[in-house]
Amino acid sequence: MSLSERLHPGINLAGTDPEGHEAAEEVLFGFWIFLMSDLVLFAVLFATYAAMSVQGIAEGPGPAQVFDLTAAFLETLLLLLSSFAFGFALLAMKYRENRRSVLAWLLATGILGIAFVGMELHDYYVMVTAHAATPQTSGFLSAYYLLTGTHALHVSSGLVWMAIMAIQIAVFGFDKRVKLRLMRLALFWHMLDVVWIGIFTFVYLFGVTS
């Protein structure tokens, strides 16, 4: 039987696990559809933010006064590196099925993700305490907290999912179902990094420039 090498987004199992590869097409494509609808959610929040950050500042502080670009840059690096680490976790799963190396890469991914969420919470703390920039202050800040908060919530739920997958790997090993779940989590994680590109560009960099 000849299978197409690539049936779905992300790492494909062709070559090392033909059976899993075939089973993956349907569930990964289904998850891909969910991710696209999730992107629509983010797009609406971006649109709201785009309108509010220009017209909704009211009496409150503007973007250039409250944003810390250094923190945004570090957050970008953390999320990018964690996306990269997840890629290597999946490759360790695909080619070696070695629990220890997969779990080690997942741990690295998770720590980078936790550091990212921690830095964002710290940003919020600084904004609220040093600049009195609470969500109630202006439409701009409501939209800002809603957009970045939704993203941070996605990352946090990804971290919970990651912890559950680590337990499943430890308990069940590389069962076909466990593999397919980890592959879906990888798509989720990479997609959140793509959304973050939009946030650091259109929220932080645009906000400070204009």
Positions touching other proteins (CB under 8 A) are 4, 6-12, 15-16, 29, 32-33, 36, 39-40, 43-44, 46-48, 50-51, 54-55, 69, 73, 76-77, 80-81, 83-84, 87-88, 91-92, 94-96, 98, 101, 104, 187, 190-191, 193-194, 197-198, 200-202, 205-206, 208-210
In whole angstroms, the minimum distance from the beta carbon of 20 to other proteins comes to 15
Please identify which residue in the block is written with the tokens 């560009």. Answer: 201
In whole angstroms, the minimum distance from the beta carbon of 18 to other proteins comes to 13
Q: For residue 111, what are its two tokens?
A: 């720590």
Residue 25: is it exposed, middle or buried by C-beta count within 10 angstroms (0-12/13-18/19+)? middle
In whole angstroms, the minimum distance from the beta carbon of 98 to other proteins comes to 5
> For residues 53 and 207, is the Cβ–Cβ distance under 8 A?
yes
Closest to other proteins by CB, 69 vs 132, is: 69
Closest to other proteins by CB, 54 vs 115, is: 54
Residue 32: how many other CB atoms lie within 10 Å: 15
Closest to other proteins by CB, 2 vs 136, is: 2
In whole angstroms, the minimum distance from the beta carbon of 186 to other proteins comes to 9
Please identify which residue in the block is written with the tokens 């960099």. Answer: 205
List CB contacts of 71: < 8 A, sequence separation 6 or more.
Answer: 119, 122, 123
In whole angstroms, the minimum distance from the beta carbon of 132 to other proteins comes to 25
The phi, psi pair for 165, rounded to 5°, reads -65, -35
